[in-house]
């Protein structure tokens, strides 16, 4: 069982990132990198637990880093369900995937969502930081 308690700072001007990936090593790596960059993070191993966490959280994240292939609820189903919730629909999402065909699938399925980024695996650190910087509040700077 996973603790659904929000693990981020509830201050309004912090950049909150939700990491949804079934690989524990990737979740841990991303949590360390994002925390080092000044972000508050929560990590979930699948889409179902991520949706439960989002429903329980008083604050929506600034960004969701989302793997596509996960057990219990994959990334595509998570996106479809999140799109039905007006509170979640506008959250920027970075799709993490190692599959070459993800660009085609992304283009075909992501048109219903407002802000999407592709973050191919293995994850390029500079691309990750650029995506996070793009969703940070204007008065914040990474690493400060």
Q: Give the domains, in start order, of the chain with CATH numbers.
A: 16-135 (3.40.50.2300)
What φ, ψ does residue 120 adopt, rounded to 5°? Answer: -65, 150
Question: Mind listing the pLDDT tens digit for each residue in 66-76?
Answer: 998 888 998 88
**Residue 18 pLDDT:** 97
| pTM summary value | 0.82
Question: Mind listing the pLDDT tens digit for each residue in 112-140?
Answer: 555 778 888 889 999 999 999 888 765 55
**Residue 65 pLDDT:** 96
As a whole number of angstroms, the distance between CA 5 and CA 115 comes to 26
| CB-count exposure of residue 41 (10 Å: 0-12, 13-18, 19+) | buried
**Residue 78 pLDDT:** 93
Handedness of CA 111, 54, 77, 35 (dihedral sign): positive
Give me the residues of the chain with pLDDT under 70, please.
1-13, 100-114, 137-144
């Amino acid at each position: 069982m996973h603790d659904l308690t929000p693990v981020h700072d509830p201050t309004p001007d912090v950049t909150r990132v939700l990491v949804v990936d079934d690989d524990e090593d990737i979740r841990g790596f991303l949590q360390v990198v994002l925390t080092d960059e000044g972000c508050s993070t929560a990590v979930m191993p699948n889409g179902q637990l991520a949706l439960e966490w989002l429903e329980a959280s008083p604050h929506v994240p600034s960004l969701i880093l989302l793997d596509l292939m996960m057990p219990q609820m994959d990334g595509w189903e998570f996106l479809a369900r999140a799109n039905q919730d007006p509170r979640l629909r506008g959250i920027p999402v970075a799709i993490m995937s190692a599959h070459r065909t993800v660009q085609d699938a992304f283009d075909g399925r992501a048109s219903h969502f407002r802000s999407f980024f592709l973050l191919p695996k293995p994850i390029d650190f500079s691309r990750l930081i650029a995506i996070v910087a793009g969703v940070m509040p204007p008065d914040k700077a990474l690493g400060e």
